Amino acid sequence: MCTHTEKIQSHTHHGCVCEVKIRVRYAETDQMGVVYHANHFVWFEVGRVELLRQLGFSYREMEQDDGCSIAVVDARCRYKAPARYDDEIIVRTRLKNVRESLVHFEYELLRFSDGILLAEGESTHVILDQQLKRRTIPEKYMKAFREAVVRDTQG
């Protein structure tokens, strides 16, 4: 079986790291012959969603059942090497911090074939209710999020 995207669980004592593999689509390239830089933020989103799933949550259900949206307030990417068409990319996602209504993720994009780091990023999100007003994270998520936070100091 040849996978386009696959998820590899990787729990540690120090929190939870999620790895998901995607394959670069032709649509994601630009005329420089590499992946257009805005697509890295789409891949980060794929990583976040899979990290939530790894914690036992579906972001779809968070929205539908709990009326929680996770809105981006800050996103950044540092580009180290170009991702290319048909490359398999590992999106490695960590929950860096969580409090009240804020969640902070970190990302690494690695080329699967040789492990080269292609990009690093981070994003901060605020939890919103259905009226798009800020709200605290429901307790069932908060508990799991706190445990999932990767603590560098324990590293």
Q: Supply the minimum distance, in Å, between the C-beta of residue 69 and a copy of itself.
A: 5
Contact between 139 and a copy of itself by CB under 8 A: the answer reads no
Give the span between the Cα atoms of 134 and 101, in whole angstroms. 7
Helices (H), 95-149: 139-148
Q: Which of residues 49-78 bind a copy of itself (CB under 8 A)?
A: 49-50, 53, 58-60, 63, 69, 71-78
Among 4, 99, 140, 151, binds a copy of itself (CB under 8 A): 4
Contact between 114 and a copy of itself by CB under 8 A: the answer reads no
Beta-carbon contacts of residue 119 (< 8 Å; ≥ 6 apart): 40, 77, 78, 79, 80, 81, 83, 107, 108, 109
Residue numbers at the binding site for a copy of itself (CB under 8 A)? 1-9, 20-23, 25-27, 29-34, 36-39, 41-42, 45-46, 49-50, 53, 58-60, 63, 69, 71-79, 82, 85-86, 132
